[in-house]
Structure formats: structure tokens, C-alpha cells
Amino acid sequence: MGTRGVPALVDTTPAKTILVYRNGDPFYVGRRVVLPRRRAATFEALLEQLTEQVPVPFGVRRLFTPTRGRPVLELAALQAGGKYVAAGRERFQKLDYIHIVPRKPAKMRKLKEIKPVVHCDIKVPSRWQTYHRTSRHIHVFTNGRLFIPPTKIIIPKFSLTEWNSVLAMIGEKVFPLGGVRKLFTMNGHLLDNSKDLQDQHFYVAAGLESFKYFPYWKSPNVPSEVQQKYADIEKHSRRKKKEDSKGKEPPKHDNIPPRAQDSVFYAKEGQKKTLVEPLIQGGAEGDVYKAQTPNMETQGVPEVTEDQYVQVEVPLDQRPAEIVKEVEEIHDDAPDFESNKEKEDERLYEDNEGKRLSRTSARIKKWLHFLKKNNMTW
């Protein structure tokens, strides 16, 4: 019997690990590849393994050192932990492969909301956060129709940029005469911009007609606090009107008869005074045509008296009153037109009858003359 040989020992050599870059790519950070002995028994098998793991056009055909670009031709030349460049058929491209580091993702900047510039220390509620960013919930009455309850309308934020869009949206649910052309508050204030619209407020929609003052706030659909607010406003306005009316004193016309007060020639208060008054007060003997100081050229000249036949035009209020006849007296004094007409008709009839008889007698005379001339008898 032959003796058994010594059994072969297990190879405990660790597998090689290399870092492979891609030729000509400055952003490829390298791929770590483990080279087991059983799988990568030959150099050609190693190239096939690198083709699967490193994306190179037309596959990995050659390996180079990263610094000087020397080709690696066998497995024994590979060093554990070494760095190499995988390439295809192209030439080696010189780059700083060793210092290629992975790029960190850019941090996303947070968008900060732009706030208005504050020029003073006074803190007031601003509209920059709410204007054009939130919708409006309003209640709209129809102008002049107090018994129609208000309509709730939601105006979206994209419609608040144009006032005509707001009016058109209100016109889809409220129907005044001629469509919605104006929007008022309940006390008659006209709105012309969507900035004045407030949430959960009450308004009045009107067409081309003017605003009709009705107590819209007394509607049962209006909240009690809104009713109380507008009731206080109305009381204040009435009180103010009474105070203004008491402050104005009525004009005194005790010594003047009422007919003279109604006359167009009566000078009421507030009218401008004519220029005749200062002339009468400053003239000699109260005459407006006499100078205040005598003229040297007219001294000693006799005064010419007015002629008695000169007609002077007197104002209407200074003329003597005339008696105006009543309508019945005018009819009594008027001539009888019907009797005159009958007399005229009789006279025309007599004239026509006389002319007809004269024509008939002339014809008879001509006929007798003709018979006598021809020795004829009747």
C-alpha cells in the first residue's frame, strides 16, 4: 500500500481591493472593486468584471496608473489598495484623479417673506398680510328693496384685484335695475375700490339710479351689534340737524305786509344793497343827481324847471293800482258776434237775389227785342 501524501494547506491570502476611476471624467469619484482569486483568475476576467461595475463606453479594455498613465498588463502588477484608471480604446487623459472628491448637494434656501419697511415705532394693524390674499364674505342688499333679505356673496382673492370683476360677481346674485353698477354702505357711502371691502359687512348694490336712503340695518338678518351701530349714527345725524336748525334765526318781517314780502320787487335779506343808498345819504337834500360839493361854473345860473308835458316812466311797484275786470264782466261787455253774423248773412242773400233778378230781366228784354225785330209774336 502506498503512503498518503501531505494534504495541501488552504490559501489564506486576502483578496485585493482597488479603487478604479473613469478615464477623462473629472466628476467620477471612483468605484471600489474587490478582486477575489476564484473569479478574477486572469487579467481578461478582471477587465470583464470592471466592465460590469464601471460604466465605460465600449467596455474596459485597459488600466492605467492615475499619476503617470502607465499601462497595467497583468494581475501581479496590481497592488492592494491601489488606484487605477479604467479606459477603453482611447488614449489616457491626464487629470488629477486622486483629489476628486464627491460634491455636496446644494442647500435649499428658505424663501423669506418680504415685509414692509417700518419707518416709525408706531405699531398699527397693516393690510399687507390680508390684502389680495384672503377672500371676502359680504352681505348685499338691493337698492330700494327693503323687504328683500341680503344675499351672502363670497368674493375670491383673485377677483379682488379688479373692481369691475367684483361688481360682476355681485351682479350674478343681486339684480337691481340696470345691473350692478355701484356699491354703497348702508348709510350711503359710495365704494370705488376693493380695498374698502371688509369681511362680514353689509352693503347695498345699485344700478344707474341714486342711492335710496332706507333703514336697511333694521332687517332681521342684520346682527344686533350692527343695528345698534347704525341706529346711533342716525340719532347723531338727527341731533345735529336740530341744532343747525335752531342756530338759524328766521328773518323778521313784522312791519311789512305779506303781499309786499311776496313781491318780486321786495328786497329780501341776503341780497346785495344797491349803490343808490350811499348816494342818497351823501347827496345834498337827499337827491342822487346833486353833487356833494357845488360847481364853481354853475353858480348864479337859474335852474330850469321840468316841462309839464314830459312823460316820466315810473316803476311798476310805484304805479297806481288798476281795476282788473272779472271774466264774467268781460263776456258781458263783449259784442254779440252771433247776431252780427246773422245780419251779414242776410245782407249777402239780398245782394245775391238782386243780382239774379237783374240778370233775368236783361234776358227777357233781349228776347222781346229779338221778336220785335223779326216781326214775331209771343
- Mean pLDDT across the stretch 342-351? 79
Q: Could you give the strand order of the β-sheet that contains 71-72, starting from the edge strand earlier in sequence?
A: 31-35, 16-22, 83-87, 62-64, 71-72
Question: Residue 74 pLDDT more than 70?
Answer: yes
Question: Residue 271 pLDDT more than 60?
Answer: no
Confidence (pLDDT) at 22: 92
Confidence (pLDDT) at 36: 78
Over the stretch 90-142, which tens digit does the pLDDT of each residue have?
A: 999 999 998 888 777 666 666 666 666 666 555 555 554 444 468 899 999 99
Residue 229 burial (10 A CB sphere; 0-12, 13-18, 19+): middle
* 330 three-class SS: helix
Neighbours of 45 (CB within 10 A): 14
| Residue 233 to residue 252: CA distance in whole angstroms | 35
Cross-strand partners of 142: 145, 205
Tell which residue, 175, 183, 101, has the closest CA to residue 145.
Answer: 175
H helices within the chain, ranges in order? 43-53, 163-171, 224-247, 258-262, 276-282, 327-333, 337-373
Instruction: For the chain, count helices (H), then strands (E).
Output: 7, 10
Neighbours of 217 (CB within 10 A): 19
First to last CA, the chain: 214
- Mean pLDDT across the stretch 84-89? 92
Question: Residue 193 pLDDT more than 60?
Answer: yes
| Residue 89 to residue 135: CA distance in whole angstroms | 68
Neighbours of 79 (CB within 10 A): 11
- DSSP at 162: -
Q: Which amino acid, residue 277?
A: E
| Residue 131 to residue 235: CA distance in whole angstroms | 34
Instruction: Report the run of H or E that residue 225 belongs to, with start and end.
Output: helix 224-247
Q: Which amino acid, residue 197?
A: L
Question: Residue 284 pLDDT more than 70?
Answer: no
Alpha-carbon distances of 182 from 38, 136, 144, 177, 372, rounded to whole Å: 92, 18, 13, 11, 109
Q: Could you give the strand order of the β-sheet that contains 202-206, starting from the edge strand earlier in sequence?
A: 151-155, 136-142, 202-206, 182-185, 190-191
Q: How confident is the model at residue 182 (pLDDT cuts 50, 70, 90)?
A: very high
Rounded to 5°, angle at Cα 195 from 190 and 201: 65
Question: What contacts 135, CB < 8 A, 6 or more positions away?
Answer: 154, 155, 156, 157
- Mean pLDDT across the stretch 353-365? 82
**Lowest mean pLDDT: which of 9-18, 53-62, 160-169, 356-365?**
9-18
Q: How confident is the model at residue 183 (pLDDT cuts 50, 70, 90)?
A: very high
Question: Residue 376 pLDDT more than 50?
Answer: yes
H helices within 108-202, ranges in order? 163-171
Q: Are 141 and 148 in contact (CB under 8 A)?
A: yes
Cell numbers 341780497: residue: 271
Confidence (pLDDT) at 259: 53
Confidence (pLDDT) at 153: 93
Confidence (pLDDT) at 103: 73
Higher pLDDT pick, 132 / 299: 299
Q: Rounded mean pLDDT of the chain? A: 77
| Residue 297 to residue 19: CA distance in whole angstroms | 138
| Residue 265 to residue 86: CA distance in whole angstroms | 122
| Residue 370 to residue 285: CA distance in whole angstroms | 102
| Residue 368 to residue 376: CA distance in whole angstroms | 9
Confidence (pLDDT) at 245: 76
* 190 three-class SS: strand
Furthest-apart CA atoms within the chain: distance in Å: 218
Cell numbers 297806481: residue: 320
Q: Are 93 and 23 in contact (CB under 8 A)?
A: yes
Neighbours of 163 (CB within 10 A): 17
